[in-house]
């Protein structure tokens, strides 16, 4: 087996930080003498096990199940790196778990699966589920990610959340609500064009439709999606049925003529002339990473509000604003699912945090704003109770 000289990475601070991994497990009780050992393990633990066997709902009270999330991937769509496999995905999954703990006090366990078939992934997660209070699906390629999430939500009684879809959608909707407010508009006043029909593009579109968007069209590599277009996958056919009420056809550039909003969730490029041809007070969310579809400085010459997925420009659309608080709220309520209403409640909570201080460069809170997780968690938990799926 080939070996790598790890010392050649010693001058890179990223490798220095990752050496040995970014996580560890620590006990939450003291076991420093025989009495503590007898309670934490045998014989005391047997009494707790017997009680749970008799009353399974006690597992949420007497284990960590109700406060721990599995971060599950197959490594098939990792960041901008693509299909790099389960082992190479582990640094990202560790990072996700670290963010769960830092921002929401939620324990999370990275689970990188050496399988890629939908049936295999679903069965594996189902078999692991008794150990966890929730499942965060991460970096699984489309279109398999849609089927995997749907089947797991149907079969499990714990929250299942594909962050690449719904985390992005929640923060995008929050930011778009505030961007519209700056010019006295609502979501219902906007015509939106989404570039990209992958996991994020589909989820953003569905959530904006649910949130009352005026009109929205979605473009993939072949152009605007419309009902009856040849070669549509089932998920794109579904998108065609709920979008593009104007009946647009052709390229994303053509669709953007006179549009109010561009949401970029692909690796494509948008020329400056296209942004210049959008409606007055246009809104541009160029969210491709690491290179936005159009440079923010160029877009600002023609658009009223510009956001990206990067931390070195104003208005970063970052999933960390959503997923820690969403899971914190779902776990606190012991919710059996994460509904569309819960996601919209999360988006509203995020948007409301900056509503009174809005500027073109401040439509969304900072990822380090300590108000975000409590506000999102409370909104999500309250909505879970209204939806009738809370058990606490």
Instruction: Give the whole-angstrom CA distance, residue 199 versus residue 330.
Output: 22
- Centre a 10 Å sphere on the Cβ of residue 256 and count the other Cβ atoms it contains: 26
- As beta bridge partners, residue 68 has 107
* 226 in catalytic set: no
Task: Tell me: is residue 318 an annotated ligand-binding position.
Answer: yes
Task: Tell me: is residue 244 an annotated ligand-binding position.
Answer: no
CA-based nearest residue to 329, from 360, 373, 279, 263: 373
Angle between helices 199-210 and 144-155 (to 10 degrees): 60
Task: Tell me: is residue 315 an annotated ligand-binding position.
Answer: no
Instruction: Give the whole-angstrom CA distance, residue 104 versus residue 97.
Output: 10
- For the beta sheet containing 223-224, the strands, ordered from the edge strand earlier in sequence to the opposite edge, are 223-224, 215-220, 191-195, 261-264, 283-286, 305-308
Task: Tell me: is residue 164 an annotated ligand-binding position.
Answer: yes
Q: Which H or E element spans position 40?
A: helix 34-40
Q: Can you give the length of the chain in residues?
A: 392
| H, E, C per residue of 125-176 | HHHHHHHCCEEEECCCCCCHHHHHHHHHHHHCCCCEEEHHHHHHHHHHHHHH
Instruction: Give the whole-angstrom CA distance, residue 256 versus residue 250.
Output: 11
Question: Rounded to 10 degrees, what is the CA torsion of 229, 234, 240, 243?
Answer: -160
Task: Tell me: is residue 126 an annotated ligand-binding position.
Answer: no
Instruction: Give the whole-angstrom CA distance, residue 158 versus residue 65.
Output: 10
The answer to whether the Cα torsion of 235, 193, 346, 184 is positive or negative is negative
Question: Rounded to 10 degrees, what is the CA torsion of 65, 68, 73, 79?
Answer: 170
The catalytically annotated residue of 22, 62, 65, 96 is: 96
The β-bridge relationship of strands 215-220 and 160-162 is unpaired
- Centre a 10 Å sphere on the Cβ of residue 4 and count the other Cβ atoms it contains: 7
Instruction: Give the whole-angstrom CA distance, residue 80 versus residue 138.
Output: 13
Two tokens, residue 163: 């962050």
The full DSSP string for 326-354 is HHHHHHHTT-S---HHHHHHHHHHHHHTT
* 41 in catalytic set: yes
Q: Which residues are catalytic?
A: 41, 96
Binding-site residue set for a divalent metal cation: 138-139, 164
Annotated binding site: 138-139, 164, 289, 318
Query: Which residues make up each annotated binding site for (S)-malate?
Result: 289, 318
């Amino acid at each position: 087996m080939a070996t790598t000289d790890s010392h050649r990475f010693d001058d890179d601070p990223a490798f220095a930080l990752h050496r040995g991994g970014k996580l560890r497990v620590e006990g939450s009780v003291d076991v420093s003498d025989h009495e503590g050992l007898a309670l934490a393990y045998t014989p005391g633990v047997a009494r707790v096990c017997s009680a749970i066997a008799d009353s399974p709902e006690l597992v949420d009270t007497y284990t960590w199940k109700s406060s721990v999330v599995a971060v599950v991937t197959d490594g098939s769509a990792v960041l901008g790196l693509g299909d790099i496999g389960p082992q190479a995905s582990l640094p990202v999954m560790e990072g996700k778990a670290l963010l769960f703990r830092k921002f929401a006090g939620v324990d999370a366990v990275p689970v990188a699966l050496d399988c890629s078939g939908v049936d295999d992934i679903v069965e594996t997660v189902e078999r692991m589920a008794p150990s966890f209070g929730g499942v965060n699906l991460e970096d699984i390629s489309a279109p398999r990610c849609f089927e995997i999430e749907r089947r797991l939500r149907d079969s499990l009684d714990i929250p299942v959340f594909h962050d690449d879809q719904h985390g992005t959608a929640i923060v995008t909707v929050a930011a778009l609500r505030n961007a519209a407010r700056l010019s006295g508009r609502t979501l219902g006043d906007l015509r939106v064009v989404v570039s990209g029909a992958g996991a994020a593009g589909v989820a953003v579109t569905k959530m904006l439709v649910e949130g009352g968007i005026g009109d929205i069209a979605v473009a993939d590599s072949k152009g605007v999606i419309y009902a009856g277009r040849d070669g549509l996958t089932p998920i794109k056919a579904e998108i065609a049925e709920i979008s593009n009420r104007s009946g647009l056809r052709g390229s994303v550039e053509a669709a953007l003529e006179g549009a109010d909003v561009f949401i970029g969730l692909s690796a494509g490029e948008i020329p400056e002339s296209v942004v210049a041809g959008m409606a007055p007070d246009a809104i541009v969310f160029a969210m491709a990473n690491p290179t936005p579809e159009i440079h923010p400085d160029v877009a600002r010459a023609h658009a009223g509000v510009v956001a990206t997925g990067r931390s070195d420009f104003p208005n970063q659309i970052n999933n960390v604003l959503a997923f820690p608080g969403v899971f914190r709220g779902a776990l606190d309520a012991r919710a059996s699912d994460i509904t569309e209403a819960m996601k919209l409640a999360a988006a509203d909570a995020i948007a409301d945090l900056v509503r009174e201080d809005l500027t073109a460069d401040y439509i969304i809170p900072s990822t380090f704003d300590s108000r975000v997780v409590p506000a999102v968690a409370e909104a999500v938990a309250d909505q879970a109770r209204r939806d009738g799926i809370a058990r606490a």
